[in-house]
Structure 1
Amino acid sequence: MAIYGPERRVIEWPRINETGFPGYPRPNGTYRDQPPNLTNVTAIAAGQSHSLALRKSGRVVMWTRRLTGDNRTDYLPNFITRATVKAIAAAKGGSTFSMFLLKNGSVLEWPPRNYSEIYSGNFTTWIVPRPDALLMSGSVKAIAAGYEHCLALLKNGTVVAWGGKRGTTQAGLSAQFKSIQVPAAAQANVTAIAAGMAHSLALLKNGTVVAWGRALPAGYNGATCAAIGCGGAPPPPGGPNGVPYAALSGVKAISAGQNIAVTLLTGGRVFVWGQTTTGLVLNIIPPEAQSGVVGIGAGSFWWMAIK
């Protein structure tokens, strides 16, 4: 998704029609297109099956690529569409919830998740309950949504995390749980946050990145530059908490994909680390992203830069 033009309209690509992805047809009526005349958009967020746009008025608009048939989740409730919203976030990598930061500094989630019931049985030891009193106190500055976990940046520079993943394996549960165990380094002087599938990032005032949760490889997953044709030396080995040394200073912005971390460095250069995917070596930086970049973004299996 992107905001473009003087009227600040929204464009999405590739377009997904009602027939669905190749090999995964859907019945007619399981798609709702972008509302007409959607202008004055200040922020956007793309989820697995839905899109969000925040207008200059503070109102949120949602449309869907795949409807559940449940009016409780296919349409935003009035208490969100009528609220004055400051920021939006859509869960990554297949989860379906969204987060809304209101102008009064409080945080809402939709659809609401009852953490005490959804994560029942033995899984309750792998989650952190939503800190409702804190999130409704007006002290939140920014939000980020992962796959099953949430981050909030408080006005005092502290990060708060909650949620967790039920998961199917011990390793999956452990990684998701670690993503909400905020380290001491992210308890002060944080200016930005980002959440991936099972990892979290924080940017400090001094330009350093703090990472926690699933450890992201700093190299090429064992592949050599010669084998993958990267045309240059591999990134340096990881520093504290698995963060490469290149991201320990001079970082201006951060973004998180499913299993990747994207940073914008001084001079407009992009640096990426994390897990590659079959046919996609995501942590190779093309020449176009070596300078002059002013914005970054990341999805499940891609990242992008704005020049």
Structure 2
Amino acid sequence: MHSLRFGALLVAVLSVARHGAAAPPPSPPPSSRGVIALGGPSFNGYYPAMDIPPQAKSNVWAVSGGGSHSMAIYGPERRVIEWPRIDDSGWPGSPPLPNNTYRDQPPNLTNVTAIAAGQSHSLALRKNGRVVMWNQRLTGDNRTDYLPNFITRANIKAISAAKGGGTFSMFLLSNGSVLEWPPRNYSEIYSGNFTTWIVPRPHALLMSGNVKAIAAGYEHCLALLKNGTVVAWGGKRGMTEAGISAQFKSVQVPAAAQANVTAIAAGMAHSLALLKNGTVVAWGRLLGGFSGATCAAIGCGGAPPPPGGPNGVPYAALSGVKAISAGKTTAVALLTGGRVFVWGQTSAGLVVTNIPPEAQSGVVGIGSGSIWWMAIK
């Protein structure tokens, strides 16, 4: 049960649909297989990513993290548990949400093969190829907060949801084409003349049937083609030139990701690709180590290890990587032997790059939220 094949199958159904189609494993995972996590947004000292509910402590198939909540598929019936529950009261200190922007988790939701936690919404893909969405806090408009019929009735094989501030989702259809909802106008300019920082959606390519995996970033999208090539589009339409520049770089796919790519992941302003040889390629915002202020506050003691490759990829992620995931400003890798490795910016007063002993071996699946990561062991 601990074979690499089974581990790969578990990773395949993680939230961001890193590996394309998510076929369910042939048998339930061991009852001892649960979720471990580090990091998470803090509200008066409460870290929701680490407050793991009983349902996610055994029989776990897959995990996903969003902007402020986590999800897991658990049990022989492949049900969904999320924590903490996103309700119509919003987070502490935030105003109540309009009633028409909130919907509870569907009752009797079973046979789920993939999940995707967004900024404030949740997606579940069922074995029959149908996808459902709930806990919406997107546009505040019922017309777009509900998934339209052409998505809910489609045969979907992979899903991905933007987090860390993003408010859209991606859907990979069984025919190899890609949809987004709510639809976005990539020529739109929010502030100033930022047209040069936006890459249009390649409609013809995404409708060609050649896509096998998708990943949603904060304001950019990735698609992995069947020939092992990565395509990127979108880009941040923000207020500062530095932020826009980082987002724009996240869609400038380097030559190293134009062949032999097996998995993709997208963060707030960075992109990741996993090659067949176990190497990670990163582009976009440079994922440094600890920020000075955070490091001083927690006494992390010493600088992070020097980068080993392009765009700050550490030496540990240049070989032996089995799976990848991306948080808001972090990158997560699953290494040979089931060891979790994390690099990037620290947030919320926690050094998420410090891996606890229980995540240094035997891990079979990974996932990440905006400022935390999770592992299945």
Pairing 1:1-307 to 2, within 5 Å after superposition: 1-27=71-97, 29=99, 30-66=101-137, 68-118=139-189, 122-217=193-288, 219-222=289-292, 228=298, 236-241=305-310, 242-307=312-377
Rounded Cα–Cα distance in structure 1 between residues aligned with 2:266 and 2:195: 21
Rounded Cα–Cα distance in structure 1 between residues aligned with 2:97 and 2:193: 37
How far has the Cα of 1:86 moved from its partner?
0.6
Rounded Cα–Cα distance in structure 2 between residues aligned with 1:65 and 1:179: 27
How far has the Cα of 1:229 moved from its partner?
5.9
State the Cα RMSD in Å. 1.9
How far has the Cα of 1:94 moved from its partner?
1.2
Rounded Cα–Cα distance in structure 2 between residues aligned with 1:75 and 1:43: 19
Kindly provide the amino acid, as one letter, of the partner of residue 83 in structure 1.
A
Rounded Cα–Cα distance in structure 1 between residues aligned with 2:341 and 2:263: 17
How far has the Cα of 1:223 moved from its partner?
7.8
Whether the 8 Å CA contact 1:106–1:138 is kept in 2: the answer is yes
Rounded Cα–Cα distance in structure 2 between residues aligned with 1:230 and 1:289: 19
Rounded Cα–Cα distance in structure 1 between residues aligned with 2:98 and 2:212: 40
Kindly provide the amino acid, as one letter, of the partner of residue 238 in structure 1.
P
Whether the 8 Å CA contact 1:294–1:305 is kept in 2: the answer is yes
Q: How many residues in Structure 1 have an aligned counterpart in Structure 2?
A: 305
Whether the 8 Å CA contact 1:49–1:66 is kept in 2: the answer is yes
How far has the Cα of 1:16 moved from its partner?
2.5
How far has the Cα of 1:106 moved from its partner?
0.3
Structure 2 unpaired stretches of 5+ = 1-70
RCO higher in 1 or 2 (8 Å CA, sep ≥ 6)?
2
How far has the Cα of 1:226 moved from its partner?
9.8
Whether the 8 Å CA contact 1:64–1:74 is kept in 2: the answer is no
Kindly provide the amino acid, as one letter, of the partner of residue 320 in structure 2.
G
Whether the 8 Å CA contact 2:187–2:198 is kept in 1: the answer is no
Q: 1:288 to 1:223 in 2, by over 3 A?
A: farther
The normalised TM-score by structure 2 is: 0.77
How far has the Cα of 1:121 moved from its partner?
5.2
Rounded Cα–Cα distance in structure 1 between residues aligned with 2:314 and 2:233: 26
Q: 1:155 to 1:31 in 2, by over 3 A?
A: same
Kindly provide the amino acid, as one letter, of the partner of residue 358 in structure 2.
E
Q: How much identity, in percent, do the aligned residues show? A: 86
SS in 1 for 2:188: helix
Whether the 8 Å CA contact 2:117–2:161 is kept in 1: the answer is yes
Q: 1:133 to 1:292 in 2, by over 3 A?
A: same
SS in 2 for 1:211: strand
Rounded Cα–Cα distance in structure 1 between residues aligned with 2:192 and 2:243: 16
Provide Cα deviations, 1:26-82, integer angstroms capped at 9, x if missing partner.
156242100101000000001112110000000000112436442221110000000
Whether the 8 Å CA contact 1:32–1:64 is kept in 2: the answer is yes
Provide Cα deviations, 1:254-287, integer angstroms capped at 9, x if missing partner.
0000000000000000100000014111111011
* Structure 1 consecutive aligned stretches of length 4 or more whose deviation exceeds 6 Å: 223-227
Whether the 8 Å CA contact 1:236–1:246 is kept in 2: the answer is no
SS in 1 for 2:221: strand
